[in-house]
Amino acid sequence: MKALFSEFQGEWRPAPKWVEFLVRFGYGWRDQESNQRRIAVVSMPCDSPAAGLIVLGALVRDLGRTEATNLTGHYHALLQYASQYLRACAICDVRCRPELKRCGYVAEASGLLRHSQRKGPFQITAIKDSGALGIVTRHDGGTWQFTPKSAVNLRIDGDPLPKLINGEGALPASAYEQIIEGAQIVSQNVRESFSGLCFAGRATGKSATHAACASIRFKCEGLEYGLPELLAVHGWSSSNRVSRVNFFNSRTEEIDRPGPETALVVADGDASFLKVIDLPQFQRSDVIGVINRSVDRERSETVGNRLVGLRQWFVEDPEVNRGRLGVPAGIRLLQLKKGSR
């Protein structure tokens, strides 16, 4: 790692081994990519921003994948959202309790869209088929119809921009290249949002997760970056930015933007890990849980018992668990993969 590291506003120094390992672990997760679901538990000796560092590594890997963009399925996602609103949420009598209504949706669709160049929001009123599908919205007494080509300027209310109109607000590619030496970054990815990576925050809430990550800074070619800024979670920095990481609030059990199936969830803490493992929307996702060994014995035993239960469907990954990854002293790693005994 060429970037310098600082913790709790301390002096700048080369990144310690535990930091490099965690970032590299997240970056290398897709090196083991297979059709088998995988679950890992990273056990830390104390409270730390380890989960955020793993997310950072996974984010840098996604920046190098041409398919890691929401634009490919953006219009289809808007249509799904509009359909959910018109067919279910607009007429629903339970606001909003999907588990009671049993509608099959994870979160409510408000039916509101925003346009990058016009004041909004706009209310969806219909989906029409006129040669090409169009989402019709009502605003100021009129209706506008959007097609796949023009919909790149649209986003669901509360979601990040799907793509920057110009370079302003692009993610700092050079910083990521300093953090992961040799990382190959696709130039357009730093200007486009992606929803395949999820950060499941601490059980104490989003602000506590942000505060833990804010204790870490990197200096890259003389420029300083806080970990929250590099993680590109929507709302953690400038609002006029793209986002490369979904955020799941473990306290409220809400995700900041429901979307395509999540490939990887990194859970911060034992409570977050246990919650993510059991949620239906993450049943097909890989999960990395970061556990603090200094928590009380009962909480540690709860995690242990859950892992024992998972062994009915998962087996240990011998290559990883035999130390092939060079885990630093103080960190313990257990990795399971879906399979049969």
Helix spans in 11-164 (H): 17-27, 50-63, 74-87, 98-101
Structure tokens belonging to residue 75: 């219009």
Which pLDDT does position 159 carry in this prediction? Answer: 85
The DSSP code for 236 is S
Question: Which of 138, 93, 133 has its CA nearest to residue 111?
Answer: 138
Dihedral of CA atoms 222, 64, 281, 85 in degrees, nearest 10, equals 90
In contact, 125 and 134? CB cutoff 8 Å: no
Burial level of 6, CB count in 10 A (0-12/13-18/19+)?
A: middle
In contact, 186 and 65? CB cutoff 8 Å: yes
- Ranges of beta strands (E only) in 25-184 are 38-44, 112-115, 118-130, 132-139, 142-146, 154-156
Structure tokens belonging to residue 272: 């977050």
Work out the number of other CB atoms within 10 angstroms of the CB of residue 119. 9
Which pLDDT does position 341 carry in this prediction? Answer: 47
The DSSP code for 148 is T
Which pLDDT does position 125 carry in this prediction? Answer: 85
Q: At what angle do helices 50-63 and 17-27 cross, to 10 degrees?
A: 40
Give me the tens of pLDDT residue by residue for the chain, a chain 341 residues long: 899 999 998 999 999 999 999 999 999 998 765 678 899 999 999 989 999 999 999 999 999 999 998 888 888 888 888 888 888 888 877 776 666 666 667 677 888 888 887 777 888 888 877 655 677 777 666 777 787 888 888 888 888 888 887 767 789 999 999 999 989 899 999 999 998 899 999 999 889 999 999 999 999 988 999 999 999 998 887 666 888 999 999 998 888 887 667 899 999 999 999 999 988 889 889 999 999 988 888 888 888 888 888 888 888 876 665 555 688 889 999 989 887 54
The DSSP code for 206 is H
Paired with 288 in beta bridges are 40, 266
Question: Which of 191, 172, 171 has its CA nearest to residue 71?
Answer: 191
Question: Which of 108, 141, 107, 113 has its CA nearest to residue 127?
Answer: 113
- Distance CA(225)–CA(217), nearest Å, equals 6
In contact, 185 and 176? CB cutoff 8 Å: yes
What is the DSSP track for 239-286?
SSS---BEEEETTTTEESS--SPPSEEEEESHHHHHHHHH-GGGTTSE
